[in-house]
Chain A
């Protein structure tokens, strides 16, 4: 065979009918000294590696490397993410809790090792390879069906065209053909490029839209694909709803609703004002107060009641420095029966709510005041001492004291929202006792208890 012919042929391909004849021929060719030989078979043929002298593959090492990388990646990832970058404390486990990291490490080891085997196999086999000269012979299609092929490469030092063909023929080949260069065009058909181009154009549209949205402003509200929790379906007080037949968002009390507070409802009790007397003097104000207080449940009467306190404050402000004019008909006496139990409640509540400012003894030197002095707060007004003539029972009606607690006065905030009406009355009783205690004579103490007081001092 001439040299020019040799260049266009890649080698010689012989076809066999059975495994045995293939193996026999392979051994024979190899014995004849050929080394660049290969077989093409429809399945993995036992013993062909020996017959052709194929060396074992290094694929297991690639797999092992994959596995090791997987394990290390998983451990590093978990330790970094859960112990260093964003440390989680979970059921008191240490930050680096290896046993809990095993499952993911195991899975990634397997995953990476599998990638190693699969892609390693493809790489070592130089696959995918779509254009291969062996495919030029149409009979080669049977290599994946039931025929067996033996191939001698032209690059083999001993390759000599006809000689090889003869040797193969003698070894029992059904047919022997040279493998020629694949002349069919190898480039990808144009349609693929067109399709890919169109696809790329379409794919880029969303990206462009997003990019444009990012850099431009819009008067439209943000576009929500999913609402997530961006909008609360809750309604505001005066809105309309389709949920209820009457269309009202605010629901009236269910018939038979009972006030939760233990106080029952008594307008005088809630305001500290003798409402009948007020109605006689100033019907408009009385009506206003009643309407406001009556609308809220007893416990929450305070804000509505504010009007009374405001008026007191206004009146006092208007009345000039010395003699504030206050003609409100305050309740003179505590409506609750004053006994040891009530005083104990009053003391408890006073110590909770009032003592921080007014001090446990009521002298206006509570902790908040001391602190305000320490930091020399410029806006702080000292809480009044409760032991002043003007605040004593004969000058200062119980109802008025009740109203001060409920609504606050000048710099002092109101506590109506925090303290129930009966507790406020208990505080009133306690403040009275406190005032008494600071000005008491020995004769004020019941005879039986004088010894105990003397002992306490």
Chain B
């Protein structure tokens, strides 16, 4: 019988010549099915209901605020001359950034054959999609007349008699974010099809069986299907990997292609991508650490998984820190007064508090992950990731607000203050995000069962080889 007897093993220790197990405990194929499916089959726990009620009410508040905004116009935000890109754009970039980890884990780690990704990729992909939903909302309502947002699409218009302007980074953004959303959705859904079939086959109730049956598209696990499926998965991963890098690159063009001091820099694309991965991984951990203990999945999402993600956070956090330093260096080295002023103003101007919050959270806090103790204690990791989330929001705040509020003309300077609607929408977008994520946890397979079983099969084969060799 297929059993991985690794109870009580510390899989964060490296033993030369041996692969650290990624599935712990007395785990069999069936227990994997059990522990993942039962989450969706049992009645929801009180904790879930409570969490869902809170986030759903925040999400409804978001909806109401959007209606309020559309009814009254964008004046209800704090966007005022000279800061016309206020919190909505800060939130947009923040959420798009969050949405990078999912596809990165699924695609790039898949291509690099990092098997530890299997038990976290599903939830990370879901998170990606929900983050992109939140992200897409903001530019949609930021266009002012939100009911005309479809003007962004290149369609033959009888009103305008013209086409979108394809040389504008803002239009590239439309294509990048929507392509990213679509491909991530395909990738996520395709990855779920075999697991949805598992849900279908376990359903006792006719309607449930029908619903999951339709979602599973009649998946039967035929080896021919698996072969094409795996090929399609690899192809999608290969396509999604450059896509993921392109998306935040293009988002950074929104800034870099303009001529505002502090924005007009060539370092933006790599710096934004590193920041996106950094924030995305932090958000994955923020979600996974509570989920794994609530849903009792510690044997599948092991400490080693957490540790690996911490290492990525450490690496990308350091890249981000380096980028902050480089910006200052180039401002000094480039000798452009406006640019120099922009950076001095960031650190010591009226928004110094935002800048130093950003530095503390993004540059200093991830450095704690040099210590193994920090990387292996879920509670400590959780705390650090919260800091990273805050820091990355502030990074976008610093970029958008400080540069805009100090334009070339001192007579046009101003100080940005958010309104209650700004606050409500930021909080509401978190509500939407968590609502979607909790629904996902409740109704969808939150761990890729098929792949985890394959990992287990691999691990078992290795184990038996070892036995025969000795």
Contact = CB atoms under 8 A, between A and B. Distances in A.
Interface of A: 17-19, 38-46, 48-49, 52, 54, 56-57, 59-60, 63, 67, 77-78, 81-82, 85-86, 88, 90-91, 93, 97, 100-101, 103-104, 106-108, 110-111, 113-115, 117-118, 120-122, 124-125, 127-132, 134-135, 140-146, 149, 225-226, 228
Interface stretch (B227-235, B275-283, B367-375): B227-235
Interface stretch (B78-86, B285-293, B447-455): B447-455
B229 A121 contact: yes
B235 A60 contact: yes
Contact of B453 (A42, A49, A54, A130): A42
B166 A82 contact: yes
Most buried by B among A54, A103, A111, A228: A103
A144 B194 contact: yes
Nearest to B197: A144
25 contacts: A40-B220, A40-B221, A41-B226, A60-B231, A63-B235, A82-B167, A86-B162, A88-B165, A93-B167, A103-B176, A103-B250, A107-B175, A110-B239, A113-B239, A114-B236, A117-B232, A117-B235, A121-B231, A131-B218, A144-B198, A144-B200, A144-B221, A145-B29, A145-B198, A145-B201
Interface residues of B, number: 68
A82 B183 contact: no
Contacts of B167: 82, 88, 90-91, 93, 97, 100-101
Most buried by B among A42, A52, A93: A42
Most buried by B among A46, A52, A127: A127
A95 to B, nearest CB: 10
B106 interface: no
Most buried by A among B28, B154, B179: B179
B418 interface: no
Contacts of A145: 29-30, 33, 198, 201-202
A140 B167 CA distance: 55
Closest CB pairs A-B (n = 6) = A146-B29, A121-B232, A81-B163, A128-B217, A141-B201, A103-B172
B223 A19 contact: no
Contacts of A82: 163, 165-167
Contact of B228 (A81, A125, A142): A125
Interface of B (DSSP majority class): helix
A107 B169 CA distance: 13
A405 to B, nearest CB: 41
A17 B30 contact: no
A128 B218 contact: yes
Contact of B227 (A43, A54, A107, A146): A54
B213 A130 contact: yes
A273 to B, nearest CB: 47
A135 B218 CA distance: 10
Interface string B178-207: 010011001100100010011011100000
A381 to B, nearest CB: 46
Given A18-B2, A48-B223, A82-B165, 10 more contacts: A39-B222, A42-B33, A42-B449, A49-B227, A110-B239, A118-B232, A132-B220, A140-B201, A143-B201, A145-B29
A218 B454 CA distance: 68
B409 interface: no
Contacts of A46: 454, 457-458
A41 B223 contact: yes
B229 A17 contact: no
B247 to A, nearest CB: 9
Nearest to A123: B228
Most buried by B among A41, A144, A145: A144
B181 to A, nearest CB: 10
B171 A104 contact: yes
B246 interface: yes
A103 B175 CA distance: 8
Contact of A121 (B168, B200, B228): B228
Contact of A127 (B163, B176, B201, B218): B218
A52 B226 CA distance: 13
Contacts of A111: 179, 182-183
